[in-house]
Structure 1
C-alpha cells in the first residue's frame, strides 16, 4: 500500500515570479497568425492555433488545440503550460538558461501527446490525494508507470498490455517536467528529485534505439495487384469517368411543363410517352431500394426499383407525391413490363479492354443516380492517390499540401526523353511550420494521375489542394472491395489481398524498391528527401544491402533516381 506524505497547506505554498505571464506564444515560437486571428497567450486555459497563416493542411483542428482544463488540479494547469511552452520555444530567454532543458522544439502533434499523458499523470496523483509536487516520490512515479502497463475498460479492469511506446510516453510525462522545475511558478518538485535518476524514458520502457524502420513494406503479392488496378482505373477508366462527370453536371433537373393540367395528368402523360415510344424508365440506386424494403415495400413489387422522381422531373415537377402512386400504379406496372428500366447515365458505355486481356467489355453497366456516379469518381480519385503514393513515396503531409498547380510543365530533354515533376510542400524536418516548396521528379503515369485528380474535383466544393486531408487506409478499403467485387472482376482486375496499406507503407515500399537497386541507396535518400542517409538506411534495411554487396557508388542524379521506372514496371 502506498504511503501518502502530508502536503503543505495552501497558505504555505509560495508562488514564484512568473517570467512567462501573458507571453504571446506565436511570437515566441515564430509562428505567423492571419490578420485578426486569435493569438494564444501563456495563461489561457486553451491554446488554439487554428488561425495560423501557414498551417499544414494535414493537421485537423483538434490537432492544433491544447486544452489544459483536462488537468483536474487548477494549481498544475499553469505548470503544464510553462512546461509545454518551454518545449515549443526552447530559445526563449526564460527557458534557454535552464541547464537541463531540451533544445529541440516540439511539433504540435507531440505537444498534444505530451499534454494528454501529463494530464493522466497529474490526475492520477490527484486521485491519490497528492496535492503538491513536493510530495511526489519515486514510489508515485513507478505506481503511475505500472498503471499504464495495460489498457483498461470502462470499469477500470485491464484489457490488454500496452506497447513499449505507450510506456515510454508515460515515463517521459513523469520525468521531463522535473528538468523545468526552476521555471514553474505555482508548484515545484523537491530540489534534486529526478524520477528514475540515471535512466532515460527509453531505458525505463525497455526500448532500444534502432535505425531500422519498423513499418513493413507491401508484399509483392499485394503490390502488384494494387499498382496494376490503380493504373488501369486511372488510365483506362479515367477518361470515361471525366465524360460521365460532365454529363452529370449538365443534367437538367426538369424543364417547365409546356402544357396545362394537374400534377396527376402531367405524370400520366409522361409515363404514356415512355410506353408509346418504347423508352425505358430510370431505376433508383441500391441505397434507395434498401430504404424502400425497410419501409415495407415487397421485394416482389414490380415498381421497387422504379425512379418515380425522374418521372416527376420529366413532367416539370420538383417532387413526386406518393398519393399519386395508387392511381398510376397499373399504368406504371404495364410500362415497366413493356419498356424496362435503364440507368440514367452511361447505359451505353464504351467498350474497353479488360485488365487481364480477355476481350472487351463496357467500361460500366451504368449509374442510376448522381450519387452512384459520385462514388465512381471517388474510386478513380482514390486510384490516383494510390498511384501517387506508390510511385513517389510522398508523406501524407506532402500529399495533403499538393496544390492545384502541382503539375510542373514537362521538360523536353531531347532524344525522346521528358522529365515530369510534381510540386508540393516538404513539411517534416523544416523550421517553418508550413514547410517549404519542393519538387519531386517522377514518371508520366504519376503526373497524369495528379492531372486527372484535379479535373475530377467538384467545382461546387472549391479546394486549394488536389487531395487535401484524407485517410488513405479507409479509402483503399472501399476501393479494394470494389476491385474484388462483381464490377472489378467483370473488368478483369486481379483480386487484391487484404494487406494493410497506408502512406507510411507505400513510402517504405518505394524506399526499398529504390535502395535495393545498384547505387540506389543515395537515390532513395534524394527522392524521399531524407535529411540523413541513416534514415534511408533504416527505411531500406541497410544491413541487407551491405550483406548483398551494395558497395557501388551512386550512378544516378537528383533528376532521375535509379530504380523508379523499374518499380513502375512491376505492374506488368
Structure 2
C-alpha cells in the first residue's frame, strides 16, 4: 500500500481544530477563517472543489448514529488526507490518489447508511462488525429499489473503509468485505446488473420533445436574439443612468414627468413582474404603492434610469402622491424603446419587450443557445459549460465553404501531475468542428454578457452559497434555464396558434444537459423523420462530429447499442460518418 507520509507513521486521530483539507487543496478566494475544520459536524466539501462550475456540496455527520459518528469522521478525514491505497488504485477506473468532492459525498453517504443499519441491528461499534454482518447488510440493498450502480457504490464505500484500516485506530477498523474475496464480486450480493451504465444508460430525449425544442431554440438564436440583445443593452443603459445618491430636485422632476404622462393620456410605467394583479389590500415585497390603494407597483428602476434619479425617490413620490396619481393612471408594464424586428409567421413575435421581462428573456436566450450548442455539437456537458469568450473561429476553404471551429477544454482522461482527475481540464489540441447554428449561438452568448465564460453564474438571481464563488452556472441551474425556456416556448406556441410546435413533457423526465449528447447520437443513428428537414440537419451534424472525434464509435455506441457490430444494419449515413472520421 502507499505510505501515508502526511500521517508520519501515526494512526488517524485528528484534533477538532485540525484542517479538514490541506491548505493547498482549498479553492482560491476562501479566507483562512472560513477553512473547514475536522471537529465541525457539517463538512463543506465544496471548499476543495476547484471546478469553475462547482456546486454546494456538504455532509452532515449529525445524521450518523452517535456510536459510529466519531469513528467514521476519523475515517473520512483519512480518505481526504491520505493518498488512495493501492488496492483501490488498482481497480478499474479508480486511479486517483485523492478522491473528488462528489465521490467523497457518495462514500460518506454509504457509511451513513451502513451505520444506521448497524444501529438498527443493535451493533454499538465498528469493532463488532464481522464479515457475516457485512454479508447480511449487502443483501438488504437490492430490495430498496435503487439502481444497481447505486447499490454497488454503497458496497464500494465499505471496501474503501476497509482499505484505510492500516491508518485507522483499532476501534475504527472493519474486516475485509466478503465481496472482495478472490473470485467474489458485487453481483454475488446484488445480482447481475441490467445494463452497462455510463452515457449509454442516459435516456434519449423523446423525438416528439426534441424536434419542437430544437425548432424553438434555433428560432430564438437566429431570429429573436437581435431584439432580445437590444433590450438587454437598453436595460443595462437605464440601470447605469440611475443616480447613486439622492438628487436635488429629483422628486419634482418625477412629479413633472408623471403629470406630463397623464396629461398626454399615457400611463405611469409599472413593474408587471412584481404584480400580476393590482396590490389591493396588501403590500407585496418591494412594492412601491400604498397598501390598499389598488395601484400596480411602479417600475422604480426603469423610471430612475429614465429620469436619472434614485429608485427610492421614485418610490417616495408614488407613496406620497396617491391622491394626485390614483390607480387608473398606472399602466401595465414598462415597455422598452427597442424595435421588434423578428416575426413568427406574418406577425411580430411580440408587441414589446418589457423592462421587467428582460432578465427572464436573457435566461431563455442563454438556454436556447445551450440547447443548440449541446445538441448540435455532441460535446460533453462539462465541455459546453466551460466554453469561453473568443472560442469560435472560422476557416474558409479553397472550395469556398466555411468550416466553423470551437476551441475549448476537455476533461475526459485529463489528470494532473499527481494522477488526480483535473477539475480544470485542458485545452483540446484539435478544435471541435461544428455547424453554423452552433457558431451563431456562441456569437449570441458573447454579446449577451461581458463575462469570461459563456454560461456565467451572473445570469441567475439565485444567491451563491458562502463556500462557492464560481463564475460558471452549474448543471442544476442550466436544467432550470431549459425548463424556463420550454415553458416560454410553449406560451408562445399558444399565443401564436402554433400547436404543432408545442413541446410536450418528456416521458423520461426533465430535459437536462447530460441527455443531449446521448440524444444526438441516437438521432444520427436512427435518422427519424420530422419537421424542418431534421434528417438533412443531422447529416451536417454527423459530418461535423466526424471531424471532431478521433473515433466516432465512441459517440455512436451510445446511439446504436448492440447494433454497432452489424454493418448491414447501419444506414449509409453511418458508414459515411465512419469514413469521414477516418
Does 2:206 match 1:219? yes
Deviation at 1:145, TM superposition (A): 3.9
Of residues 408, 414, 435, the one that matches 2:425 is 435
SS at match of 1:420: strand
Deviation at 1:304, TM superposition (A): 4.0
Deviation at 1:328, TM superposition (A): 0.5
Alpha-carbon separation, structure 2, partners of 1:520 and 1:342: 43
Query: In 2 relative to 1, CA 140–555 (structure 1 residues): closer, same or farther, beyond 3 Å?
Result: same
SS at match of 1:250: helix
Deviation per residue, 1:311-345 (Å, 9 max, x gap) = 78749562333553443046x74x66xxx767331
Aligned partners of 1:403 and 1:465 also within 8 Å: yes
Deviation at 1:195, TM superposition (A): 5.2
RMSD in angstroms over aligned alpha carbons?
Answer: 4.9
Q: Structure 1 unaligned segments of length 5 or more: list them.
A: 1-15, 152-160, 563-572
Matches within 5 A, 1:157-236: 161-187=145-171, 194=178, 197=181, 198-208=183-193, 210-211=195-196, 213-236=200-223
SS at match of 2:521: helix
Q: TM-score, normalised by structure 1?
A: 0.72
Question: 1:506 aligns to what?
Answer: 516
The number of residues matched between the two structures is: 511
Name whichever structure is richer in helix by fraction: 2
Alpha-carbon separation, structure 1, partners of 2:53 and 2:207: 29
Matches within 5 A, 1:32-431: 55-62=50-57, 72=66, 73=68, 74-83=70-79, 89-90=83-84, 95-96=85-86, 104-105=95-96, 106-126=99-119, 128-145=121-138, 148=141, 161-187=145-171, 194=178, 197=181, 198-208=183-193, 210-211=195-196, 213-251=200-238, 252-253=241-242, 263=251, 268-290=255-277, 292-293=279-280, 295=282, 303-304=295-296, 314=307, 318-321=313-316, 322-329=318-325, 333=328, 343-346=334-337, 349-354=339-344, 358-359=345-346, 361-369=347-355, 371-407=356-392, 409-431=393-415
Deviation at 1:283, TM superposition (A): 3.5
Deviation at 1:463, TM superposition (A): 4.7
SS at match of 1:227: helix
Deviation per residue, 1:275-331 (Å, 9 max, x gap) = 444555423314224471461799x9884476588678749562333553443046x
Alpha-carbon separation, structure 1, partners of 2:204 and 2:348: 35
Question: 1:482 aligns to what?
Answer: 488
Alpha-carbon separation, structure 1, partners of 2:236 and 2:89: 64
Question: 1:12 aligns to what?
Answer: none
Aligned partners of 1:121 and 1:173 also within 8 Å: no
Q: TM-score, normalised by structure 2?
A: 0.71
- Asked which structure has the greater CA Rg, the reply is 1
Alpha-carbon separation, structure 1, partners of 2:570 and 2:261: 72
Query: In 2 relative to 1, CA 271–464 (structure 1 residues): closer, same or farther, beyond 3 Å?
Result: closer
Query: In 2 relative to 1, CA 410–20 (structure 1 residues): closer, same or farther, beyond 3 Å?
Result: farther
Deviation at 1:229, TM superposition (A): 0.4
Alpha-carbon separation, structure 2, partners of 1:521 and 1:482: 27
Aligned partners of 1:515 and 1:521 also within 8 Å: no
SS at match of 2:352: coil
Deviation per residue, 1:373-409 (Å, 9 max, x gap) = 12111111111111111111222222221122222x2
Deviation per residue, 1:499-532 (Å, 9 max, x gap) = 1311221111111234457999997986785889
Deviation per residue, 1:162-219 (Å, 9 max, x gap) = 3333332333333453355445443366767635855322442223264471222223
Query: In 2 relative to 1, CA 501–530 (structure 1 residues): closer, same or farther, beyond 3 Å?
Result: farther
Of residues 435, 442, 452, the one that matches 1:450 is 442
Segment drifting more, 105-114 vs 388-397 = 105-114
Deviation at 1:452, TM superposition (A): 0.7
Q: Structure 2 unaligned segments of length 5 or more: list them.
A: 1-7, 284-288, 417-421, 457-471, 528-537
Alpha-carbon separation, structure 2, partners of 1:122 and 1:192: 17
Query: In 2 relative to 1, CA 319–345 (structure 1 residues): closer, same or farther, beyond 3 Å?
Result: same
